């Protein structure tokens, strides 16, 4: 089956000249799937599957993919780093298995400091290897869960802490350039 297309190109009408065809040509068949033709820059029809239509369609798909990738990256907090490996945490803590049981027996555990001073951009990772959930200041961490938090807001964040003797944990995030 011949999928080539015959195309008439038109000149834009003016007051002194009505619309008239200026060229008749046959476009070769392409691998593009047939569809509705598109208008070209001079107002004339363009056959579907023509090289120009394929180029425009491909360009639109590439632009769409770039925009989608940028939006997904922004939503995930990906920024300026050229490495795909996760950033090393500034602070790292582990709640060992059996911590809740030791606390119930009256043991004193100091897994986290009472107060943590961090700067914008710092990252904290807390791994709960225990079978019980724990309150850790502004966070709640379920059994066998890991928290990874990058600090992007200046402020004081505090709350109850089930693994510190004082029962409290405070994170102070400062801007080093302020």
* Torsional sign, CA 60, 66, 67, 69: positive
Distance CA(80)–CA(95), nearest Å, equals 32
Residues 96 and 169 in one domain: yes
Report pLDDT digits (tens) over 95-134.
999 999 999 999 998 899 999 999 999 999 999 999 999 9
Give the CATH number of the domain where residue 109 resides. Answer: 2.60.40.420
Q: Which residues sit opposite 46 in a β-bridge?
A: 38
Residues 12 and 71 in one domain: yes
Residues 95 and 70 in one domain: no
Cα dist from 166 to 23, 46, 52, 76, 131, whole Å: 87, 76, 71, 35, 22
Residues 106 and 158 in one domain: yes
Residues 156 and 104 in one domain: yes
Residues 103 and 69 in one domain: no
Q: Classify each residue of 13-27 as buried b or exposed e, where b means 16 or more C-beta atoms within 10 Å of its C-beta.
A: eeeeeeeeeeeeeeb
Indicate the SS3 state at residue 100.
Answer: helix
Local confidence band at 36 (pLDDT 50, 70, 90 cut-offs):
very low
Report pLDDT digits (tens) over 134-154.
999 999 999 999 999 999 999
Q: What pLDDT does 110 receive?
A: 85
Domain containing 55 equals: 5-75
Q: Are 123 and 77 in contact (CB under 8 A)?
A: no
DSSP string covering 36-89, please?
Answer: --EE-TTS-EE-TT-HHHHHHHHHHHHHHHHHHHHHHHHHTT--S----SPPPP
The residue behind tokens 């938090």 is: 149
Q: Taking residues 79-103, what's their average pLDDT? A: 78
């Amino acid at each position: 089956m011949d999928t080539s297309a015959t195309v008439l190109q038109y000149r834009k009408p003016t007051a002194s000249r009505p619309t008239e065809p200026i060229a008749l040509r046959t476009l070769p068949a392409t691998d593009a799937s047939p569809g509705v033709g598109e208008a070209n820059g001079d107002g004339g029809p363009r056959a579907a599957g023509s090289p120009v239509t394929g180029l425009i369609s491909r360009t639109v798909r590439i632009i769409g993919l770039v925009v989608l990738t940028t939006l997904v990256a922004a939503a995930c907090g990906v920024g300026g780093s050229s490495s795909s490996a996760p950033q090393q945490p500034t602070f790292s803590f582990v709640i060992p298995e059996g911590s809740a049981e030791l606390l119930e027996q009256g043991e004193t555990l100091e897994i986290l400091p009472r107060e943590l001073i961090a700067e914008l951009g710092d990252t904290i990772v807390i791994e709960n290897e225990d079978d019980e959930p724990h309150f850790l200041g502004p966070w709640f961490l379920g059994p066998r869960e890991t928290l990874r938090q990058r600090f992007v807001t200046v402020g004081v964040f505090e709350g109850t802490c089930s693994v510190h003797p004082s029962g409290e944990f405070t994170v102070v995030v400062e801007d080093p350039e302020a």
